[in-house]
């Protein structure tokens, strides 16, 4: 589903299976509902039957909703995920407001949740404070006198706002039983490298508005000569963007794996005082680092000496201000939204303050809230059914691998080993995060966010030298999403996604296989996409393919890349098939395996016709239904450069066009718009 940190992918086991094997030795898929279903789980009212499924499945299933629904003024896009996320946020709001009214003892989780929310909602206090919270932070920047001071501040900025490269302690790709310090390119104020380099009129216009926005933010923050400083920031960020690797190259985990000793890092970037940097960063124990893009770091090193200290100070002031804006007085917050929400995404209005407050608490104290959320809103039977479904999908995937005609036995053994080692995490963590080190005050929003950042960074840096924490989650239970982490070989499904239209305990099996079944298959598919396939069952970056099988795999994925390259999103905008290939592989693999698991679940019985749809048709309708989504044009343009997922319409239609089962289910034939000739269809897993 979405990408998580540098090497986990979202919308991954040696453990006991949920049920016994069948006569073949495979683990049979079973029914997901405990009673005879009377509903299909398809929102018939949303369907536009004037559009044939054979011509456009996405609009056939969602057309009436797409025609009648208006994107809310405070949204850049809206769909099934958004609806569930809004509902989850309403539920979380009730939890947070109860904590705020509880008068909890100082230092308790309830006090922290309630007071953080209160500090965000107290606009009168924020107006009273004005820009004063920025004063000591701006002084830190003004006090920079030389490259050694700048090195010290870079480490600080990496914890508080942004810097030319990021730092994160995580699993070593080639030693997955060890944590290591990882570094990569970062530090741009516009959404992507392409934002600075594209030559079309829209991109040029956005760059002009960006410089104007930076100047306005400097003025509102009380920084003098904002217009000149904004131009300096733009020039520096453009130089950084020019040096950055393109997003397609960032998908190559081998190219991005460059282990260096601290001495080698110092040789690469001699303009950084690494001793001062490490002391401020809390990474004195680091003996080696993974440098994602060495030539980018070499370019940054040159910029540190070639670009004036005054320009670097302007750059860091800008990133301090824009990152702090949501937690300051209304003028800065509003101007920041006008550019990032309005200009870049087309959003008409800022979200109500309570929504932003809930999101703030979720980001800083997410598992405190999540612990209560799952007790109130997550049914234990949903977790049990998911465990059963995961094992059904695992069995279907194994069968699919064994049946592949393009893969040799040697590679199949390795693929099956990896599949068997997938670790599913469902609903919520077994071990909840400890927030005891975080101090929260009801009248200090800026300070609260600074302390929350510092505690989170300290928690991360403290991992160095310790055993891998396999209980940790990358998402909170109240998140409507899912992810795969190749370094831990785990597939993770938070509680909030386990509800309709993704998972419907009262609906027919078919729609659940087409929806949550395909989501599970999607995350499993990430283990075998263009990136995940380079990691073995133990999470190690390791080439387990024979040369001939790898060549055939890349031939098939290349064909999928070409298909998506040809999809037109807007008049002058195409999908980037190479950038989105991991998610497109996940979609195709996921739905293919979910369909297979559904067939196994019927145990030879014929599915009933419900709402005029056969069982097979409901699988595909359930798939299309979860991708119901509308976008503003500005948001679509931005996503093409920044989001590795294809827009929802093409996730729905592009996937099924490659499946012969879809053609058979709806009688798709040559001349129909959804028809794809057999020789043009892609089958990977």
Q: Which CATH class is domain 3-12+37-89+379-429+472-680?
A: alpha beta
The ranges assigned to domains in the chain are 3-12+37-89+379-429+472-680, 136-327
**What's the mean pLDDT in 581-596?**
97
Topology given in CATH for the domain delimited by 136-327: Neutral endopeptidase; domain 2 (1.10.1380)
**What's the mean pLDDT in 352-359?**
98
**What's the mean pLDDT in 537-549?**
97
Predicted pLDDT at 11: 62
Q: By percentage, how much of the chain surpasses pLDDT 70?
A: 94
Give the residue from 619, 386, 601 showing the smallest Cα distance to 510.
Answer: 619
Q: pLDDT at residue 36 above 70? A: no
Q: Give tens-digit pLDDT for 512-534.
A: 999 999 999 999 999 999 999 99
| Summary mean pLDDT of the chain | 94
Q: How many CB atoms lie within 10 A of CB 551?
A: 10
Under 8 Å between Cβ of 581 and 560: yes
End-to-end CA distance of the chain: 18
At 143, list the tokens.
């006090």
Confidence of residue 28 (pLDDT cuts 50, 70, 90): very low
Which alpha helices (H) appear in 69-200, and where do they start and end?
80-100, 109-121, 123-129, 135-142, 147-160, 193-197
Helix (H, G, I), strand (E, B) or coil at 260: strand
Contacts 24+ apart (CB under 8 A), 138-146: 138/221, 138/223, 138/317, 138/320, 141/313, 141/316, 141/317, 141/320, 142/313, 144/309, 144/312, 144/313, 145/309, 146/309
Predicted pLDDT at 38: 63
- Bridge partner residues of 165 (DSSP): 185
Give the residue from 250, 277, 252 showing the smallest Cα distance to 262.
Answer: 277
**What's the mean pLDDT in 562-573?**
95
**pTM of the predicted protein model:** 0.93
The residue among 165 and 28 whose pLDDT is bigger is 165
Predicted pLDDT at 20: 28
Give the residue from 587, 621, 610 showing the smallest Cα distance to 506.
Answer: 610
**What's the mean pLDDT in 544-563?**
97
Predicted pLDDT at 500: 93
Confidence of residue 22 (pLDDT cuts 50, 70, 90): very low
Give the residue from 495, 683, 490 showing the smallest Cα distance to 589.
Answer: 683
**What's the mean pLDDT in 34-63?**
89
Confidence of residue 572 (pLDDT cuts 50, 70, 90): confident
Residue that is written with structure tokens 């209560």 in the block: 372
- DSSP-assigned letter for residue 327: G
Under 8 Å between Cβ of 184 and 6: yes
Predicted pLDDT at 103: 87
Please give the Cα distance from 18 to 491 (Å, whole number): 16
Predicted pLDDT at 25: 32
Predicted pLDDT at 10: 61
Q: How many CB atoms lie within 10 A of CB 164?
A: 27
**What's the mean pLDDT in 352-379?**
97
Please give the Cα distance from 92 to 75 (Å, whole number): 19
Which is it for strands 175-185 and 288-291: parallel, antiparallel or unpaired? parallel
Q: pLDDT at residue 375 above 90? A: yes
Q: pLDDT at residue 17 above 90? A: no
Q: Give tens-digit pLDDT for 483-501.
A: 999 999 999 999 999 999 9
Rg of the chain on CA atoms, in Å: 25
Give the residue from 127, 187, 185, 231 showing the smallest Cα distance to 320.
Answer: 187
At 44, list the tokens.
């018939």
Under 8 Å between Cβ of 661 and 616: yes
Give the residue from 650, 644, 526, 649 showing the smallest Cα distance to 578.
Answer: 644
**What's the mean pLDDT in 299-314?**
98
**What's the mean pLDDT in 84-94?**
97
Under 8 Å between Cβ of 629 and 79: yes
User: Angle at the Cα of 303 (from 297 to 307), degrees rounded to 5?
Assistant: 165
Under 8 Å between Cβ of 268 and 288: no
Contacts of 241 (CB under 8 A, 6+ apart): 188, 190, 193, 195, 196, 197
Confidence of residue 505 (pLDDT cuts 50, 70, 90): confident
Helix (H, G, I), strand (E, B) or coil at 218: helix
- Bridge partner residues of 629 (DSSP): 79
Confidence of residue 19 (pLDDT cuts 50, 70, 90): very low
Q: pLDDT at residue 122 above 70? A: yes
């Amino acid at each position: 589903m979405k990408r998580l940190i540098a090497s986990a992918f979202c919308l991954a086991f040696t453990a006991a299976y949920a049920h016994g094997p069948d006569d073949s030795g495979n683990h049979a898929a079973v029914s997901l509902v405990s009673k005879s279903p009377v509903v299909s789980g398809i929102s018939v009212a949303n369907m536009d039957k004037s559009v044939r499924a054979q011509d456009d499945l996405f609009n056939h299933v969602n057309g009436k909703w797409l025609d009648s629904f208006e994107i809310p003024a405070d949204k850049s896009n809206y769909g099934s995920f958004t609806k569930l996320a809004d509902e989850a946020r309403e539920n979380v709001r009730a939890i947070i407001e109860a904590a705020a009214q509880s008068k909890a003892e100082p230092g308790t989780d309830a006090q922290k949740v309630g007071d953080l929310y209160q500090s965000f909602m107290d606009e009168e206090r924020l107006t009273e404070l004005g820009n004063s919270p920025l004063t000591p932070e701006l002084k830190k920047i003004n006090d920079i006198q030389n490259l050694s001071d700048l090195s010290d501040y870079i480490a600080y900025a990496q914890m508080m706002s942004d810097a030319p490269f990021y730092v994160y302690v995580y699993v070593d790709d080639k030693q997955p039983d060890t944590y290591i310090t990882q570094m990569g390119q970062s530090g741009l104020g516009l959404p992507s490298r392409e934002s600075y380099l594209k030559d079309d009129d829209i991109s040029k216009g956005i760059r002009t508005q960006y410089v104007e926005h930076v100047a306005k933010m400097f003025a509102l923050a009380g920084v003098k000569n904002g217009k000149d400083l904004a131009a300096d920031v733009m020039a520096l960020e453009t130089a950084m963007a020019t040096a950055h690797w393109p997003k397609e190259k960032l998908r190559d985990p081998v190219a991005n794996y460059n282990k260096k000793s601290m001495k080698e890092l110092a040789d690469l970037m001699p303009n950084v005082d690494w001793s001062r940097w490490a002391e401020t960063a809390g990474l004195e124990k680091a003996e080696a680092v993974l440098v994602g893009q060495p030539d980018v770091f070499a370019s940054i090193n040159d910029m540190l000496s070639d670009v004036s200290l005054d320009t670097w100070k302007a750059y860091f002031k800008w990133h301090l201000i824009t990152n702090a804006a949501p937690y300051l007085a209304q003028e800065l917050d509003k101007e920041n939204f006008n550019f990032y929400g309005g200009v870049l995404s087309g959003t008409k209005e800022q979200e109500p303050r309570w929504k932003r407050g809930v999101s703030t608490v979720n980001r800083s104290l997410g598992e405190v809230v999540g612990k209560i959320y799952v007790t109130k809103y997550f049914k234990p039977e949903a977790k049990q059914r998911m465990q059963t479904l995961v094992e059904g999908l695992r069995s279907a995937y194994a069968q699919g691998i064994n049946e592949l005609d393009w893969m040799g036995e040697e590679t199949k053994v390795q693929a099956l080993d990896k599949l068997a080692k997938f670790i599913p995490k469902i609903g919520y963590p077994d071990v909840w995060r400890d927030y005891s080190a975080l101090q929260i005050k009801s009248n200090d929003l800026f300070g609260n966010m600074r302390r929350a950042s510092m505690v989170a960074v300290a928690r991360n840096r403290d991992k160095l030298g310790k055993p891998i924490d396999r209980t940790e989650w990358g998402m909170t239970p109240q998140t409507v999403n899912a992810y795969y982490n190749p370094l831990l070989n785990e597939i993770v499904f938070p509680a909030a996604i386990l509800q309709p239209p993704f998972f419907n305990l009262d609906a027919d099996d078919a729609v659940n296989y087409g929806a949550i079944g395909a989501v599970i298959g999607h995350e499993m598919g990430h283990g075998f996409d263009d990136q995940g396939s380079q990691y073995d069952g133990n999470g190690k970056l390791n080439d387990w393919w024979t040369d001939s099988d790898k060549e055939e795999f890349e031939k098939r994925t290349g064909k999928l890349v070409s298909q998506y390259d040809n999809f037109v999103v807007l008049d002058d905008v195409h999908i980037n098939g190479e950038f989105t290939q991991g998610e497109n592989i996940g979609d195709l693999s996921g739905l293919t395996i979910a369909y297979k698991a559904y067939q196994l679940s019927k145990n030879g019985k014929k599915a009933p016709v419900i709402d005029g749809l056969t069982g097979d048709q409901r699988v595909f309708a359930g798939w299309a239904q979860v991708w119901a989504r509308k976008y503003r044009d500005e948001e679509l343009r931005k996503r093409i450069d920044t989001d590795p997922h294809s827009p929802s319409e093409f996730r729905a239609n592009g996937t099924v066009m490659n499946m012969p089962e879809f053609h058979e289910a709806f009688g798709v034939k040559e001349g129909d718009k959804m028809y794809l000739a057999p020789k043009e269809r892609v089958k990977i897993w």
